[in-house]
Amino acid sequence: MLKGIPKILSPELLKILCEMGHGDRIVIADGNFPSESVGKNAKVIRADGHGGCEMLEAILTLLPLDPYVEKSVKLMQVMPGDPVETPIWDKYAEIIDRVGGCSTDVIGEVERMAFYEEARSAYAIVATSESALYANIMLQKGVI
């Protein structure tokens, strides 16, 4: 056991967070995200039974966000005409502010298909059991 490491972070995920360098991206995917097919060239970590908020909070305790890009956090944009509400985005913003130490200015939205394309080149994808729709979030690692 290690002190100060959130229990939700598996040894495999800790290793991946350590391996990532400045500019690498990690996706925290909801339960509907096609993690295995989109992540066939990435490292896919199963986090079954865990939600997006708890995973985001745990990862941000260790991962610095990139201050050198306009938007170091990206959300999958709701499809035009889709009546889905995204209250989880407000929770994500609160976690980014509280744990990540960043204002919500670092958060941007990416059109759905463009998000999938960006996710294909992510270093890793964490497949959660998050049931909220459009709860996918991509983080770009910064420097310490």
User: Which amino acids are annotated catalytic?
Assistant: 22, 66, 116
Work out whether strand 73-76 and strand 107-110 pair parallel, antiparallel, or are unpaired.
Answer: parallel
- What CA–CA distance (Å, rounded) separates 119 from 37? 11
- What CA–CA distance (Å, rounded) separates 45 from 2? 20
Integer angstrom CA distances of residue 87 from 32, 79, 124: 17, 16, 25
